[in-house]
Amino acid sequence: MNQEQFDKVKNGKGFIAALDQSGGSTPKALLAYGVQEDAYSSEDEMFDLVHEMRTRIITSPSFNSDQILGAILFEQTMDREIEGKYTSEYLADKGIVPFLKVDKGLADEKDGVQLMKPIPELDKLLERANERGVFGTKMRSNILEPNENGIKEVVDQQFEVGKQILAAGLMPIIEPEVNVYSDNKEKSEQILKEEIEKHLDQLTDDQQVMLKLSIPTNANEYKSLIEHPKVLRVVALSGGYSRDEANEKLKKNDGLIASFSRALASDLNVNQSDEEFDRKLKEAVDTIYDASVNKE
């Protein structure tokens, strides 16, 4: 594991950008960017357009290593190039730590949760990630109800795959998302914290993980996780909140930094001039950075 990148993620001031929409979420991401579905007629054309969008974000002077610690990429983005370099290498050269989304989406709901679908050939994907200079990975589950059995299954699965990722020399971001609009969100968060702590306490001396969690209902609910010696960093997803709302909630949580996706790119549009695009991106980066480092 790259020690310079490890230290940046552990101690750096800033946030992690999530640029990893894939599969079914890609048309929504393009639509939000102002690209209508009739602008492409195949999946290949769709992914070409989304790579153009991500390239425009990543190459913008507003997307800088002073405020952005890392960026999470979709597999296709990792395998594509920006200015003659693989995207992950371009980011690393810019001083931004590259991560890779490795999950293949969510299974059907059962016991109030959605587990991850199986990840076939994960070892081969991790090997390619290492070749591309990727530092860590991300994988998402979804929690909809405070069902103890369901949440336990989610966390068990996350840590089982997380250990496979650690064995490959990569840093796993474990993401058991609690749906921000679910009933009894607070109760789900309490159960989730207890289950995560059980697994953290079982990690070996040389193992650490990262966590990506929904911003908790009660401020500083995850303080014990943020301070746990087996946790490198805890980042928060925006979960459908507007950027202003997500930033406001984030500020109330000491030590919690952003890993926003929609809230980062919500004001960007394909028809903007480069000057306008960079200005809007800078506004987003500045406010998310501020919410990540300046706490109430």
Question: Which residue numbers are catalytic?
Answer: 175, 212
CB 65 within 8 Å of CB 96: yes
Distance of CA 66 to the CA centre of its chain: 19
Reduced to 3 states (helix: H, G, I; strand: E, B; else coil), residue 156 is helix
Amino acid at 288: I
Report angle CA 107, 117, 166 to the nearest 5 degrees: 140
Q: Where are the alpha helices (DSSP H) in 80-212?
A: 87-93, 122-131, 148-167, 185-201
Provide the pairing of β-strand 136-143 with 81-82.
Answer: unpaired
Q: Which residues contact 7 (CB under 8 A, 6 or more apart)?
A: none
CB 260 within 8 Å of CB 246: yes
